[in-house]
Amino acid sequence: MTELTISEFAKSHGEPAWLVAKREVASDIYCSLPLSAQQRPYQMTNPKLTAVTVNNDNLAPQHLKQQGVIMMDLFAAAQEYPTLIQENLMEKTIPWRDNALNARHLAYLTTGAFIFLPSNTICNEPINLTNFIDHTQLEKHLLIIAGANAEATFTFNDCGTTPKKDCLMVEVLLGDNAHIKYFDENNAKSEYHHRVLNAYLARNATLHTFVGLFNAHNTLYDSSFSLDGEQSEGYLNVVSLGMNTQQQNVNAEIINHGRNTHGEIQARGIVAERAKTNFHTNGVITKNGYGAYSDQASRLLTLDSTSQGQVDPILLIDNYDVVAGHAASVGKVNADQLYYLNSRGIPLRQAKLLLTRGFLLPLIDAFPNEQMRKQMLDKLEGRFNVR
């Protein structure tokens, strides 16, 4: 197939002129933008772009279509709903000019989905977003907008073949009093996987994210919530498993901008067999964040002397009328417990699995989706090869 330039690729499926121009600028400047040492391994070579077929249909179930819900290809949405896409795509939550990875993502974005819930929409059944993108592509994107008083639960799970390096960026924008839950089971098969989930919350909005990092290769996970509206609430929950020389970096941040906002970060991870996991968590309360609450708890458990874990909790507070705190720990598996289980005839690998389950269960049990809890525990057993 004929290789296309960024402009030719974008025009081949009818992207509007503003998006074509934005992509070209991103392509021109991304090499000059900041790129941290942590990000550098996730920089990709530019892919060969070929023409793609875009589905212009609204793929929402009929009963949701009747409520005005939109679920469609991101490029098709840029044509159909240009104002919504132009104002929100990589502008408010994942600014495309922030760093080289963001700009390159926009320039070479080849698959994505747009999800829009109008005001007062209530979705009683979970919405699975897994099949709305092409997992074989390098740069993937989900843009989710929920209007005032909307409520929904979204799930996502990696599937199929993925490239050696890939990236998924997720943007969530919530209107006043919108309430969203997002379940993300990361099973990416790529050797270097970059995941971003950033969110903007208006007044009284609530976002719960539940993330399971159980993929087997190197991972950079970035997440930042902006609690902009008064009394908005953000809860970020992460469970991770690092094994077999795997490198994991988790960067989680909640920024309390509005009055009486509430932010919590909970992270637990297991590190084994020469793997390395870093939890970097930030709780930020700005000058206008009167009455804000910010809390974070990060815990890592290393299963052997070859594994490494690091936890860096940070609080940046610019207001005296707040409640803020953090807890952090990196510990080794209890040798006495391991010896006891081993002396009772339980093989070492099985014993480590039992202790791992006991360490992770308090947070896994907090995930309200039963199917996801089961899948995470099954994945845990699979990684330990004890089925």
C-alpha to C-alpha distance for 150 and 291, rounded to whole angstroms? 26
Once rounded to an integer, what is the mean pLDDT over residues 362-374?
Answer: 78
DSSP string, 59-109: -S-HHHHTTT-EEEEHHHHHHHSHHHHHHHTTTSSS-TTSSHHHHHHHHT-
pLDDT at 165 over 70: yes
Q: How many domains does the chain have?
A: 1
Whole-angstrom CA distances from 25 to 28, 66, 92, 273, 327 are: 5, 38, 18, 43, 43
**The residue type at 380:** L
150 in any annotated domain: yes
pLDDT tens per residue, range 49-98? 998 889 999 999 999 999 999 999 999 999 999 999 999 999 999 999 99
By the 8 A CB rule, do 21 and 86 touch? no
Q: Which domain holds residue 126?
A: 6-383
- Integer Cα distance of 96 and 217 in angstroms: 26
CA distance 74 to 124: 24
Domain assignment present for residue 35? The answer is yes
What are the residues whose beta carbons fall under 8 Å from the beta carbon of 205, sequence distance 6 or more? 174, 175, 176, 177, 178, 179, 180, 229, 232, 233
| SS3 annotation, 107-126 | HCCCEEEEEEECCCCECCCC
Q: Two tokens at 350?
A: 């099985």
Q: Which amino acid is at 87?
A: E
**Which band of pLDDT confidence, cut at 50, 70 and 90, is reported for residue 385?**
low
Residue 354 maps to a domain: yes
For residues 87 and 21, is the Cβ–Cβ distance under 8 A? Answer: no
Which phi-psi region, left, alpha or beta, contains residue 244 (left: φ > 0; alpha: ψ -120 to 50)? left
Q: Considering the domain boundaries, does residue 1 fall inside one?
A: no
pLDDT digits (tens, 9 = 90+) for 256-296: 999 999 999 999 999 988 999 999 999 999 999 999 999 99
* pLDDT in the model for residue 159: 78
Give pLDDT tens digits for 2-21: 789 999 999 999 999 999 99
> Reduced to 3 states, what is the DSSP secondary structure of residue 378?
helix
Maximum distance among all alpha carbons in the chain? 69
What is the average pLDDT value for the chain, to the nearest integer? Answer: 92
Backbone angles phi, psi at 175, to 5 degrees: -80, -175
pLDDT range class, residue 373, cuts 50, 70, 90: confident
Report pLDDT digits (tens) over 91-146.
Answer: 999 999 999 999 999 999 999 999 999 999 999 999 999 999 999 999 999 999 99
Phi/psi at 256 (5° precision): -90, 100
Mind spelling out the 3-state secondary structure of 293-344? Answer: EEEEEEEEEECCCCCEEEEEEEEEECCCCCEEEEEEEEEECCHHHHHHHHHC
